[in-house]
Amino acid sequence: MGLANAIEQRGFFWWFNEPTRPANSKQSSIPGLLTVTQTGQVTLDVDGALAEDREHADWSRPRSFGSSRIVGLLDTPGDYVLLEGVERTDFSLAGEDSPKKQSFSAKTCTRRGFPFPDDYEQHGFIELRIDMKGLEEWLNLDSIVIETDYGYEDGERRTVTYTDHKIGFPIPGGTIAIESLITGGNFFFYGHDRPVKDVTFEQFFYICYRPNEPSGLSHLQYVFSKIEEFMALMLGSYFRFERPTFIRKEEPFDGLMTVYSHGPAPTSEPPNRYQIWLQFADIREHFGNLFAEWLAGSELYGAGFYLYVAALRNPHVYTEDRLFTLATGIEALHRRCFDSENSTHAIHEKSTVAEILNLFSEGDPKRKWLAKKLAHAHEPSLENRLLESLGEIPVKFGKSQLEKFVKLCAARRNDISHRGGPNGDMDYDAFHQEAFRLAEALACLFHVLLFHKIGMPLDVINKLMTKSIVAERLIKPALAEVGLEIASEKT
């Protein structure tokens, strides 16, 4: 069964701030059906002509309306939408006898509970709010408590208490917080304590990011993607949040809105509690610093960070693809973290290359050919890059175990890159099984390496790798399959 659409509602639609068009206001609007799928595909089918008959009617040419926007009032009271990046998609013919129906697509749909001001633009946002539905067990911050007083004179008296959490952390450029909201009771009637016969309490949790200065929508969408990636690292699997709420500074009240654009649907099931790498309780006091380091590291290390996230985001890929992505990601991380150009090894290799080239005269074509071939001879091999990078993980393995492991990883990655598969000494089944084992172990080590890079405390990493449920169910078995055994913790 497919997922229900995020929006599938009728309403009235008109052009936003375009007084020269016939449909330019609520009074001259055209009825239609707006559909937004869970993956953010936006379509509008109107029972009339929003565009002029011949406007973008030529199917062979681009049918975009540029900066023009369509606004609509949906059939739920007070719900307005704004469509941007509008393109005409119907194939109706212009003419008096043609049916007056038109269809459009849009790149984004912004929904809010009141009209859009005339000067509305996608900037001036002061908060990003992400619903943590599905991660309540990870947080473990439920706070509604019911206590019974059996000594009350008229019978048993029950008292409800709760905590609205506001666990905030300053980060460069703003703050990030874990917050909760309790609904139910007489919250909208301040000071009203009249007894009632029916009360329901429910607690909701959010990740809130507030920039120091009002920001554009694109900035908050970028931060949202980084929060989602960071949470994937903590969980050990990629959890896609519901569409976030963006809060914009307006008068007299701040505007809350949801923006739909093309992207994957939200995750429908919470993560398996026995496969979660780190709980919120494990990192609570470090949450802000860890996210700040992830945000900075994503820009500093680039592919060294996001290639691992890509492997988490797309777990159902070919084994060769997964091993290639993981090894290449660590290689990219090494290039950003280590000064290979000026290492002792590189200087020695460059000197050797220069001595060899000096055996030929300056004008000798062979010297030019050889110089091109040896231009990168001083760079570390993939094997050395993997070894030096994974050597930073704060645990020790048995003698020479890590060296043997990275040698195999490099060999198989190079087989995939240069031969497209196994060499002549190995059949495909054996190659595939070995690549699978290597990828499983390399994923665990890459994951822990990224924890180390963002400043995860050593005691948290050591406990994760040696004493946690994930260690027993995933990490240790995966490492054992490739001959790696944790010998001791580094201090």
Flag whether 207 is in a domain: yes
406-427 average pLDDT score: 88
DSSP letter, residue 264: P
Q: Does residue 411 surpass a pLDDT of 60?
A: yes
Q: Does residue 35 surpass a pLDDT of 90?
A: yes
**pLDDT confidence of 348, banded at 50, 70, 90?**
low
Flag whether 155 is in a domain: yes
Q: Using an 8 Å Cβ cutoff, are 410 and 383 in contact?
A: yes
What was the pLDDT predicted at 347?
61
Flag whether 309 is in a domain: yes
Flag whether 2 is in a domain: no
What was the pLDDT predicted at 1?
44
Percent of the chain topping pLDDT 70: 88
Task: Verify that 130 and 187 share a domain, yes or no.
Answer: yes
What was the pLDDT predicted at 214?
96
Which position has the higher pLDDT, 365 or 346? 365
What was the pLDDT predicted at 54?
72
The residue out of 88, 112, 136 marking a domain boundary is 112
195-218 average pLDDT score: 88
- Lowest mean pLDDT segment, chosen from 50-64, 207-221, 282-296: 50-64
Interhelix angle 217-235/303-313, nearest 10 degrees? 70
Task: Verify that 73 and 191 share a domain, yes or no.
Answer: no
3-state SS string over 430-486? HHHHHHHHHHHHHHHHHHHHHHHHCCCCHHHHHHHHHCCHHHHHHHHHHHHCCCCCE
Task: Verify that 404 and 334 share a domain, yes or no.
Answer: yes
Interhelix angle 382-390/319-337, nearest 10 degrees? 70
Percent of the chain topping pLDDT 90: 62
The number of CA neighbours under 13 Å toward the Cβ of 224 is 23
Flag whether 180 is in a domain: yes
Task: Verify that 313 and 449 share a domain, yes or no.
Answer: yes
What was the pLDDT predicted at 67?
92
Task: Verify that 130 and 48 share a domain, yes or no.
Answer: no
**pLDDT confidence of 283, banded at 50, 70, 90?**
very high
Flag whether 194 is in a domain: yes
Neighbour-count burial of 488, counting CB atoms closer than 10 A to its CB (0-12 exposed, 13-18 middle, 19+ buried)? exposed
Task: Verify that 28 and 150 share a domain, yes or no.
Answer: no
Q: Does residue 416 surpass a pLDDT of 60?
A: yes
- Lowest mean pLDDT segment, chosen from 138-147, 227-236, 427-436: 138-147
Flag whether 295 is in a domain: no
Task: Verify that 69 and 136 share a domain, yes or no.
Answer: no
- Residues 107-135 pLDDT 10s: 999 999 999 999 999 999 999 999 999 99
Opening angle at CA 207, ends 254 and 115, nearest 5: 25
- Average pLDDT over the chain, rounded to an integer: 88
**pLDDT confidence of 162, banded at 50, 70, 90?**
confident
What was the pLDDT predicted at 92?
66
10-23 average pLDDT score: 94
Task: Verify that 338 and 479 share a domain, yes or no.
Answer: yes
* Domain encompassing residue 467: 302-342+384-489
Task: Verify that 211 and 64 share a domain, yes or no.
Answer: no
Q: State the pTM of this model.
A: 0.87
Which residues make beta-bridge pairs with 15? 70
Flag whether 287 is in a domain: no
Task: Verify that 219 and 260 share a domain, yes or no.
Answer: yes
Which position has the higher pLDDT, 129 or 148? 129
360-369 average pLDDT score: 78
What was the pLDDT predicted at 378?
55
3-state class percentages of the chain: helix first, strand second, coil last, to nearest 5: 35, 20, 40
Task: Verify that 217 and 228 share a domain, yes or no.
Answer: yes
The number of domains in the chain is 4
Buried b (16+ CB within 10 A) or exposed e, 85-107: bbebebeeeeeeeeeeebbbbbb
Task: Verify that 421 and 334 share a domain, yes or no.
Answer: yes
The residue out of 112, 147, 162 marking a domain boundary is 112
Q: Does residue 216 surpass a pLDDT of 60?
A: yes
